[in-house]
Amino acid sequence: MADSRWHIHPDVAQAHTIDKAFYLDEAVWAQARERLFAHAWHWLGPQPEAAEPGSLVPHTLLPGLLNEPVLLARDATGHLRALSNVCTHRGNLLVDAACKAEHIRCGYHSRRFELDGRLRFMPGFEGVQNFPSAADHLPQLALADWAGHAFTAIDPVLPFHTLVAEMRQRLAWLPVHSWQADSSRSRTFEFDAHWSLYVENYLEGLHIPFVHPALNQALDMANYRYELGSASVLQLALAREGEAAFEPPAGTQDHGLRVAAYYWWLFPNLMFNVYPWGLSVNVVQPLGPSRTRVLFSSFVADTALLGQGAGGALDPVEMEDEAVVLSVQQGIRSRLYRTGRFSPAHERGTHHFHRLLASALASAA
């Protein structure tokens, strides 16, 4: 029988928000970890970090939640793969720092793998029957690309092209692949609230006039727009007169508009904020039922526009968002609160998020 807590009415005007047990119940937390994040696409960053043949770059998918060791490996032909970074002999971690090598060698018992993951050599295994088998090769994960940025998934429910279809089409006119990483503008924030409260706040502009006074002055909130994708939400923020803005060229969907920002969310925890100065990628990392880390990575298109417009003061906006999310985390613990309602004009994105959450949780029942 389906759990009624996870039913979200498809009509936003009739729907209630997800039951507060989603934020507070540790059993639900564990269920969501496996049903959402073990099947989600994860951002790895720009592919040039593993650009040269022989490059090995280790990653950990969602530290503190999945803790899945993954290895980007580019072979001699230039083919890039995402492999398990765990030896198939006894589970030792294979590569602990970015390097270049002709093969992947385990430091425990010297098992060696080709850069495509195939087992190459294992000392002391003479006489072992049915060896090597397919299980002795390194498992390969799904690997995909958008604008030069790599994504991987352990066992994706949704094809990558479906996840990014709307974003890829809408932003095709922008040379995002050429924008340069700027580590000086990268940030890491941690706070004591459930990860989804941060996402919910991101997905609606209703709070902007009340929580972000400076940002509100840069945006034309009367014409703020929401567009729902299959597993994404676009908030199209138009600029007030005199503020920094894109002016999309003829033939593009947004031609004739002065776009202050494309705020793009991909289910469940990725945010791609496209400003005239460049791109801010936000990765929301759940650390516990009431602990979250958010990583900000910046890729600059035009240094002359830094500090201007909707993306000009990201740190103060982040502090304002965290303050309200912390307040909500405290409030949902109230014995007198269970669910809320949605604003049809401003919270269709949050409603879409809750519907996707409910679908994933119901499929686990």
Last residue of a domain, one of 99, 128, 153: 153
Separation of alpha carbons 49 and 196, rounded Å: 30
* Distance between start and end Cα atoms, the chain: 7
Indicate whether 8 belongs to any domain.
no
Model confidence pLDDT, tens digit, residues 70-93: 999 999 999 999 999 999 999 999
pLDDT band for position 359 (cuts 50, 70, 90): very high
127: left (phi over 0), alpha (psi -120 to 50) or beta: left
Residues 284 and 340 in one domain: yes
Residues 148 and 175 in one domain: no
Residues 71 and 168 in one domain: no
Kindly report the pTM of this predicted structure. Answer: 0.94
Indicate whether 33 belongs to any domain.
no
Indicate whether 23 belongs to any domain.
no
* Omega of the bond leading into 48 within 30 degrees of 0 (cis): no
Residues 212 and 343 in one domain: yes
Residue 229 one-letter amino acid: G
Residues 137 and 185 in one domain: no
pLDDT score for 5:
79
Residues 293 and 198 in one domain: yes
Q: What mean pLDDT is predicted for residues 39-63?
A: 91
Which CATH number belongs to the domain containing residue 105 in this structure? 2.102.10.10
Q: What mean pLDDT is predicted for residues 22-46?
A: 94
Residues whose CB falls within 8 Å of the CB of residue 85, separated by 6 or more in sequence, listed in order = 58, 59, 69, 70, 71, 93, 94, 95
Residue 364 predicted with pLDDT over 60: no
Last residue of a domain, one of 88, 120, 153: 153
pLDDT score for 50:
76
Question: Into how many domains does the chain fold?
Answer: 2
Model confidence pLDDT, tens digit, residues 241-265: 999 999 999 999 999 999 999 999 9
Q: What mean pLDDT is predicted for residues 131-142?
A: 97
Indicate whether 20 belongs to any domain.
no
Q: What mean pLDDT is predicted for residues 104-120?
A: 97
Residues 124 and 165 in one domain: no
Residue 181 predicted with pLDDT over 60: yes
Last residue of a domain, one of 133, 153, 173: 153
Indicate whether 49 belongs to any domain.
yes
Q: Which domain holds residue 79?
A: 42-153
pLDDT score for 51:
82
Residues 103 and 225 in one domain: no
Model confidence pLDDT, tens digit, residues 194-222: 999 999 999 999 999 999 999 999 999 99
Q: Tell the residue number behind the tokens 């090995």, with chain if given.
A: 56
Angle CA(200)–CA(325)–CA(286) in degrees, nearest 5? Answer: 70
Indicate whether 12 belongs to any domain.
no
What average pLDDT does the structure give for the chain? 95
Residues 323 and 174 in one domain: yes
pLDDT band for position 2 (cuts 50, 70, 90): low
Indicate whether 145 belongs to any domain.
yes
Residues 96 and 228 in one domain: no
Q: What mean pLDDT is predicted for residues 46-58?
A: 86
Residue 129 predicted with pLDDT over 60: yes
Residues 81 and 165 in one domain: no
Model confidence pLDDT, tens digit, residues 307-328: 999 999 999 999 999 999 999 9
- Residue 300 near residue 46 (C-beta atoms within 8 A): no
Model confidence pLDDT, tens digit, residues 216-240: 999 999 999 999 999 999 999 999 9
- Residue 224 near residue 250 (C-beta atoms within 8 A): no
Indicate whether 7 belongs to any domain.
no
Which percentage of the chain shows pLDDT scores above 70? 98
pLDDT score for 6:
86
Separation of alpha carbons 241 and 258, rounded Å: 9
Residue 1 predicted with pLDDT over 60: no
pLDDT band for position 48 (cuts 50, 70, 90): low
- Residue 18 near residue 354 (C-beta atoms within 8 A): yes
Residue 49 predicted with pLDDT over 90: no
Which CATH number belongs to the domain containing residue 357 in this structure? 3.90.380.10
Residues 320 and 265 in one domain: yes
Token pair for residue 61?
């998918």
